[in-house]
Structure 1
Amino acid sequence: MAQTNQYTKILLSKKIGMEVHSYSEGYGTVYDSKNKKESIVDSLGNITFESAHSISHIFKNRFILTSGESGYKTKSAIIDEKGNELLPLDDQSFNTPWLSKKRIISSKEGKEAVYDYQGKEIIPYSERILFVAEDRFFVKKDKVWFLYDLEGKQVSPREFKEDYHFENGKALIINEDNQSEIIGKNGQTLHKFSTQIYSLASYPYLITKSRTTGKYGLVDAEENILAEEIYDDASPEYFGAKEYVYLRKKGKATVFNKKDRKLYPNNFKYLTPLFNDLFSVYSDKSKKTGVGNLNGEIVVPQEYDFVQSFSISGKDFIYLKKGQEEQFLNQDLKNILDQNTQVIAFYPDQLIIKKQDGYYQFSVLNRSTSVLKDIVAIKEQEPDFFNIFNLYSKPVVCRNASNLYGIIDGKGKEIVPFIYDDIIAFENSENEIVVKKQDKYGVVNFQNEPLKDIIYDKYYWQKEVLKLDKDKKTDILYFTRFKNSGSRL
């Protein structure tokens, strides 16, 4: 397994005797508190450049050098790992909000220009420049905007009153005739509308908004009316398969199904899509969740505490939990779990379940089980862990028959050895885990890299920081976010 940037940073810090910051792609930065200088360090621990000025890492071997002497204007430069100035130190600041590895915007004396990372000017200084797509800029000249590509070429003679951002190669604008219009990346007209378009997030279906009543409706790209402007609000499906648009009136949702271009009035306020035109539906009255279909019919009663869809081994399932009762429904809404079975973890290829007093890997394809040997307990994750960013479980913290803790992944492989008195894994997206031995605490990650020695008396989890106390002194470790892809570890 490749060594993580986080662990490389720790090893380099120990090697050079100074804390390495922002390490990635072979380089990091270091601040020496003794001589008050900042440096660039490579992956071998070599200091490649040192300066009294501030150094910020952009990517790989590109950095921003910023001078900030008291009483003087701030000056900035783009440098490489050896300190060579690719864009010379000047009264300028740099805009890298999207962390592009191709272009950077320089702001100087109230104007802006675009450069590449070799220091070549791509777009000369203008009134304003905005990055509006992966390969497009809007450039303001004489109070109007023009569209440019990454090579600094103006792609259209068309003038725009405002800047607009592109989504999937399209932008929604208000044109010269005060009409809603959709343009392509070369400024060309794709569609014009007589009605006001509110959002193109569900293109080719478009949410409209009445200029007189403020009510919402829906049209297609040819302006055929799909839903009259009678709704209090409208929202597209932003994640997942993006099959629906939700229109709401008086607290009830009407669902537009893109597949058949039809409207389905419902009695539910909010619906979360599952699969096959099924939705989880929440009852404000009972505070419970069930499953409904497009026609507004309840197909699973609203009596469950938690409802979530999962794709396992290429098939779709619905997980239901009510108190101690759990079900795992297939596409026919048949439960494939035996009675008194508890699902411990969900992975792309299989489940980990608890049955009676044993733990097993469970195949959803043939319902076969394989015992997890020597595992006597597994720490469970809370159901609210699962969301669009955490589609599957983390590797699980287990206790073996020797009363020692370790971690296994979705395939049952040991990834953190069973040598600890306890392991504390945090919810959400944290990659760091606290380990305990002989009443002392340390930190490792899911790659089993030691991040903090097991020498601390206490630990605290505080938002983005893990605090560890020893001898009335506190060390901190910033969390890196755990990008969960199930069995990737």
Structure 2
Amino acid sequence: MSKRCAVLWCSVLAAALAGIIAPASAQEGTPARAARFNGHGFAQVTAGDRTFYIDRVGRRLFDRYIQDIGDADTAAAPLGVVTKDGRYGVLARSGGWVLPPEYQQIDTRFGAFWKVMKDGKHSLFSRDEGMLLPFFDDVGYLDGRYFDVKTGTKWGVYDRETGQLAIPAEYDGFDYCGGCGRKSDYVYAQRDGKWGIMGFDGQVRVPFAYEHEHWGMRSEEWVRSFSKNGRPVVVHIPTGKEFSADGRDPLEILAGGELVVQVNGRYGLIGHDANEILPTEYERITVPNANDFRGYHGSYAIVEKGGRKGVYQRDKGVLIPPQWDDVNVYDDYFALAKDGRWGLYDTTGRELLPPSYTAVTHVNDYFYSSGSKGITIFKTRQKALYGLYFAETGQVVSPKFHEIDLASLTYDGPDAVVVGEYQGEKAVYDFAGRELLSLGYEAWSLWDTSSLRYFVVTKADKRGLYDTELQREIIPPGFDQLRKLPGSGPMVLTVNGDYGDYRYGIRRMDGQEAVPAEYTVYDSVGGTFALLSGARNGDPAILIDGQGGVVTRLPAQYAQSVRHPGLVLISDDSLRAQLYSPALGKSVSNSKFTFAYAYDGGTEGAVLERFSSFGLAWVRVDGRYGLLDTAGNWVKEAVYDRVLNFNAHGVAVGARYFPASDWRSQVGYVAYQFIGRDGQPVSNEVYTGPNAFLMDMDYFVGDHLIIRTTDEQTGGLLAGIADNTGQVLIPPKYDGVEAFNNGAYFLLSVGYKFGIADRSGQIILPVEFDNLLLNRYEKGTEITFPMLCYRNGEWQYYTDKGEVLQVEGVPTGTFTVNTGLW
């Protein structure tokens, strides 16, 4: 890309999204205004005093965009509510209609279904199932099969399966427990100002004798939201029995469905059949951990009698007699307190921990409102110290920690271990109570997230490795870093020091030293090998198989990776190097190379770049570049002055300076060819390129190659496009060629004129336009058709066939356009 062309390309104006630009006013006779087509296939047009949106064939699609619907990204998914001629519809992202614009209202607030109004009547529409029921004077949603519907001034219930009214439209209104986990087969109904219960079979379940508020609604046999003469009552639907409290507070229903009743200040329990379970002789019956941050869910209740507490279990009665000062329930375990001391008990009353602790809680007590998550581990306390009890194994850890927490083994993973802390030191236990790490370390982390065996431990800010099975250090904490070798085998890279003063060594997983920590340089080779060189004690460089742990000594003190698994550069003096194959145990080329770590720009010798994944490496010899293969053979002699490495498609660039006698050298041009993965030019063509910069973006555009030649009249550069095989798609006769829409289109420019070609090089718009309205910031959809183009003093829409779009409502087809840059 030339600098002149870059300036020209910037004159192509970025456009606003359709629907954003709108004139403050539009008078009859003024030119029509238009905006760019957006990615959904419509654009805003203003003609006279009317603003509307058109589709890609120029038809008036709708008049106003009202609101978005969700964030679905499929073509058939709804895009938003629009209006046309005063009626509402829902447009799909494909441009088609989900609901045609023929409705008086569309209410999308309910998400999965929308309430629609047509000819003064209402219905419900589902994206998946279409119109759910006929049109009524008003409608509501109950459970997907049943709907409350209004006919005239009265309400009934419509059964979608039968297509008939299950409850006739004879009622003042309905209420329903839509948020209940189990859907009920009845509805709360109002008639003549009183509320009752109607079954979906049309039968009265509870007579119309109550007041009702929308709270405490359930889907079972109890009705809790009723009151009579202002006094709260609970009604048992099957029998019609009423229960009320002594005071004005409503009665409580336990998680198991039992009703807590109150008579003369004493409490009892009534079961599902409205018969007594516990007599009204208790001072209180409450949900465990009620109004507590620990929360609760389950089949238990706390009963109080004589100032003491016990535990009730559904279907079993009083499980723990009320003999305790306090009770907390954690799933099927009970923490019981007497005289200030807590113990732990199971559902049989068996003592798991004696009442000798100042506290016994679930290990996750602070967040217990979210449940135990199946973790049966408890935290005990004696004075200021905490201990642990693992209920499944019976393992007890006496109180010795200042803090105890759950921890995950991976970022954002589930809790998997228990961590105790004492004076800054950590201990770690698995969920069975096995001690993985004893106190004595400031920090810990897993060496391998797939196993609990090895921990990286920190002491005095130094790292070591701890074996949880052997329960001992295998690498003492004496290193700044411990790293895995490539290949993730049974070897550990130890690191001490800082930038410019590193010391690397290798330890086996049993702690034995495999390589002394004398090496100053570390590198990886081919993803499975590690390379250490520059030992302070003069030892030779080594290559380590990261998977098998095999150590290969190299015949030189210094070595350098060339990013190939079977080759390295070796050097005795860190100045001159040879290409060496550790597998063959010999050099693969007689050529001498400059050792890169010591290269200062003045050292003589060939400089070997790293090998590409295609097995070729650029080598610089006396200022020129050639290509070497992995056998040390030259596949292209050193003839290029400048080069680019191979891209992902296996194409590189080789460039030559023009001879001093060539006039083009005065403006800094180079001759270049594209090189294939065989080291040979992809075509015989030699192109002309700028010498100011040699970067990928100047030679590659997406999956294509930029080709150039010189203008015979001006000496400037002309650009074109070829594919990766060298086949010319767009001949080099343009000032600029730029790829858009991920290579689907090419923007062409000559002087101050612009055009567009498709990915095959076919010209869509000739280079005759003064301006094109595209959005450079919409990556992947910068160019959208139809496109607003400016030629001969007129803005018009052009299709991807290069034809002028005829727009409904704008007979002339010409527009004014807001060309303000975004």
More RCO (CA 8 Å, sep 6+) = 2
* TM-score, L = length of structure 2: 0.29
* TM-score, L = length of structure 1: 0.46
Larger Rg: 2
